[in-house]
A and B are shown apart, each in its own frame.
Chain A
Amino acid sequence: MAYSEQVIDHYENPRNVGKMNDSDENVGTGMVGAPACGDVMRLQIKVSDEGIIEDAKFKTYGCGSAIASSSLVTEWVKGMSLDEAQDLKNTKIAEELALPPVKIHCSVLAEDAIKAAVADYKEKQTKK
């Protein structure tokens, strides 16, 4: 199966790979995994006091499409509000990366990861 140019670009030059300090109260961490392929994905966001995502980082162990999906999401969510980030749809990711049907689940994984990160951040705020 051939990867699209967009996937190869993100795979070869992944944006925002890294790790943030999970104990920072402005950081939300989303951890997700897909058992069928054994992929694991960590996506983190740093949120300003105004509720805007200032920075995003990811680390993904998985196929090219999973890496590209999470890399793209970190690019997109920077500058978004939490609500906007939570509304991000996997179909947009799949469309942008021209993912074939068998790789759609990779974009779903990235959507789940950003949702989990936002949820984690919100939970931290209520515990403050």
Chain B
Amino acid sequence: MDITQNYFEFLALPVTYQLDLQSLSERSRELQKTLHPDRFSHLSDLERRLSVQYTAYLNEAVTTLKNPLTRAQYLLKLEGIDTFSESQVHLEPMFLMQQMELREGLEAVHDAADPEAELSALQATVDSEMNSLRSQFDSFYRQSTPTSLEAAAVCVRKMQFIDKLGREIEALEDQLFDD
């Protein structure tokens, strides 16, 4: 095992956005088995430390690749585009306007006559936006030119807003219906 390999190589999976989640969990289970601490009990401290390091890397890899947003971000990072830490980028005013309206819609849910219906309508918007951004990302990523990768990064930035909205919908849902 080699933790200088990228997550895909480490898990022996093809470097692609359309990742087969079934293979991901199978590969991860296989690796986990070979990394089980019991198998290392007779080994030296160094080797045991390595096994801990491999396990940590494996967990990191699985968490990152499982989530469609972080998987997209990781693929771009491999291409030298870091969207994980950037905070100041220009986004189309139309997109931001739409985000503003969605957030205002979420804020209005509290006082709506039928909050549950409003929330599921918002959730449906989030789902369809996310799906369309994912397929756009996939096609830009596969074109693999500098321009198309930049367009893929724009998709990722948009996904980050939709993802945040999705999490806020969930939080409000918990707050409204779980007690």
Q: Taking beta carbons and an 8 Å cutoff, which residues of A are in contact with B?
A: 31-38, 40, 42, 59, 61, 105, 108-109, 112
Contact = CB atoms under 8 A, between A and B. Distances in A.
B97 A31 contact: yes
A105 B165 contact: no
Which among A34, A61, A108 has the highest number of chain B CB atoms within 10 Å?
A: A61
B85 A40 contact: no
Which among A33, A36, A105, A109 has the highest number of chain B CB atoms within 10 Å?
A: A33
B100 A35 contact: no
Contacts of B88: 34, 105, 108-109, 112
Given A38-B161, A61-B103, A33 B96 contact: yes
A40 B100 contact: yes
Nearest to A111: B88
A90 to B, nearest CB: 10
Contacts of A40: 96, 99-100, 103, 161
Interface in B46-92: 83-89, 91
Interface string B80-124: 000111111101010011011001100000000000000000000
A33 B97 contact: no
B87 A108 contact: yes
B161 A35 contact: yes
A57 B14 CA distance: 50
B157 interface: yes
Given A40-B96, A59-B100, A33 B86 contact: no
Which among A35, A37, A61, A112 has the highest number of chain B CB atoms within 10 Å?
A: A35
A112 B88 CA distance: 9
Contacts of B160: 35-36, 38
